[in-house]
Every structure is written in structure tokens, then in C-alpha cells.
Amino acid sequence: MSAVDLKGRDLIVTQEWTLDELQAVLDLAVRMKKDRYGFTRVLKDRTFFMFFYNPSVRTRQSFECAATELGGHAQFLEPKSMRLKTAKTAGETIEDAARVMSRYACGLGIRILEDKVGAYGEGDALVREYAKWAAIPVVSMAHDKYHPCQGLADVMGWIEWLGPEGGFDPGGLKGKKLLMTWGHGALARSWSSVQEAILIGSRFGMDVTLAHPEGYDLDPDVIRWTRENCEANGAAFEITNDVRAGYEGAHVVYSRHWMSPDAYKDGEFLKQAEIERALKLTDWICDSGKMALTDNAIFTHPMPIDRGHEVTDEVASGERSCIYDVAENRLHVQKAVMALTMGAEG
């Protein structure tokens, strides 16, 4: 299916894959989108485990559909229904669980977000611990640091909207401006989708502007990576605390809430305090007035959207919104990732 060999690879963050490897996923995803039911033997008779610490809408639906359309099966698992060792309870270690799962399934997906960890980075550490012991590919289905499948779906959608008509050319993103702007709201959200988007956008040559109120800085390592990616591509990277300035000349606008670096204290996620703080910053909403400052930008979001806070209905449901195309692309990029890392040729 691809000249790039990804068999057995884990996918925890796109930054750890080469650009050729990411391109291979996108190329196959495009083929699978055009011929949706033409790859039904790739995972024939195989099972993909989905380990959900957090609930989901699109993630469970898209992975289950992906496994089915590849001829396999996706099995839903929840930690609360399993006897697993934690800091507070006795049970099976990650080593034992991962080794046993490897005897049953062809791959393992893990989803663990902000309210299921006691400090930023614990989710990433858990996913990597499973990957250390598993003999099958481990795929992040979103964790507290990154959301690689969402990032791939994002750029696939942006290329479809901004690239040449009738073709799929990732080079069409080079030189385009991505505005990642904080949005106020009634949700306290992790950095996963946001950090993934600026990382993968900068890998594909986009200029990146990160806009947020003071006190909402992202992971310093992600900022460093993004800056290095932009420098390698001769692209610009800027950070601003101005609610409007970043919209100037933007081609893609991504308005999403994310939590502050102070969201955890003494092993507790301070969700209500985060919400109360964010709701006061009412200027930070993507609306038609701000979109008018852009270069006819598309609006993007990983969903679920906090309408009326992160973005107005007029923009989210407008003719330049690509949210449903990006959501659909979750299915296609996940099929491609599963086929390339877990599947048989065919």
C-alpha cells in the first residue's frame, strides 16, 4: 500500500514521524476516501482494542467504523471495568496488561484526557508505558499532550479546501497562515488538539500565529518544536496576546478553548476554577467581524464546539467552515494509520 514501511509503529504524536511517513498516511487516506469500501480485507478477522479513560463522540464512532470497513473489529474497553493497578488501588500492571493485550489484538488505542490525570503529562506517560511493553502498535486516540489522528484529519481537510481544485497537494499549505486562537468557554479543555495542530501545520510549511490571553501559554517543548519546524521551512511563527491581530492575513482560523498551566494543583484538576476564569474573557470569540480581517480564511475546529463562546454560529455553520469535512476525515486517516501499522497487504 505504501513505499514507506510503518508496520508495527506507534503513533503518539505526529512530530515523531517523518514528513514522508505522514504523507504516506495522507496519500492512503485520500485513496480510502475515494474508494471507501475497497480495503475490506486489510484487518480481516483482526481486533483493535479501544481503551477509553474518557468518553467520546467522534473518536469511538470513527475508530469502530474504521475497523469494520477494514474487515476487522473494534472492541470497546473501559478501565473501570478492568482490574488495573493505580496509585490508589491494587491490580494488574501496565506491563502485564500490555503484554496480554498483545496476544489478543492487532493494535491498541488509548484515550486519556485532562480530568483523568492529576498533572499535565501523566496521560502521555501512560500511553508511552503501554507502548513500551506492547508488541502491537499503540495509537493515541487523544491524550493530555497530543491528538495525532485529529492533526492528520485537520491537515487533510485544509489541503482539500486550500489546495488545487481536483487534486490533493500538501504543498498547497506551504506559505498559508494558520491562526490558532484561544476561545473562551464553559469547558476546561486539554492542550492535545491545539498542540497537535500547530505542530503538524508547521511541519507542512504553514506560517503559524498563536494567539491567547496572558496566562494561557502552551507546553514550552511544543512551542520550541513549532518554532524549529517553521524555521526549517522558512515560515513565520508568532505569539500574540492581542485578540484581533492574528486574524490579519490568516488562511485557516482555529478557535478553541484550552486550559491554563495552573489547571492542576496537588494532583487535582481544577475544572470549575478554569471555567470561571475563562468565561470572563468574552472578547476571545471567533466572529464574522474578526473573520473579515482574514484572507478569506476557512474556519476549523476538532469538535465538539462550544458555540457562542469559542465561535459564533454564523462562522461555525458558515460556507467557509470545514468542520464536517475534518470530522469525516478522522475516519479516513485512522483507516490509513491502522492499515499501515497493523494490516496485511490487500
Q: Give the pLDDT of residue 309.
A: 96
Tens of pLDDT, residues 59-113 = 999 999 999 999 999 999 998 888 786 766 778 999 999 999 999 999 999 999 9
- Taking only the tens place, the pLDDT of each residue in 52-73 is 999 998 999 999 999 999 999 9
Please tell me if the domain spanning 14-146+330-342 has the same topology as the one spanning 154-326. Answer: yes
Q: What is the mean pLDDT of the chain?
A: 95
CATH architecture observed for domain 14-146+330-342: 3-Layer(aba) Sandwich (3.40)
CA distance 31 to 41: 15
Report pLDDT digits (tens) over 16-38.
999 999 999 999 999 999 999 99
CATH number of 154-326: 3.40.50.1370
Q: Which pLDDT score is estimated for 83?
A: 78
Using CB atoms within 10 A of its CB, is residue 87 exposed (0-12), middle (13-18) or buried (19+)? exposed
> What pLDDT score was predicted for residue 163?
85
The confidence score (pLDDT) of residue 257 equals 97
Angstrom distance (rounded) from CA 74 to CA 68: 7
Domain ranges of the chain: 14-146+330-342, 154-326
Partners of 50 in the β-ladder: 76, 109
H helices of 211-345, in order, are: 220-232, 271-279, 288-291, 313-316, 323-342
Please report the pLDDT score of residue 99 as a whole number. Answer: 97
User: For residues 231 and 48, what is the distance between their CA atoms, to the nearest angstrom?
Assistant: 38
pTM over 0.85: yes
For residue range 170-179, list pLDDT tens digits in order: 899 999 999 9
Q: How far apart are the first and last CA of the chain?
A: 8
Identify whether the C-beta of residue 225 lies closer than 8 Å to the C-beta of residue 219.
no
Ranges of the chain with pLDDT below 50: 346
DSSP annotation of 38: S
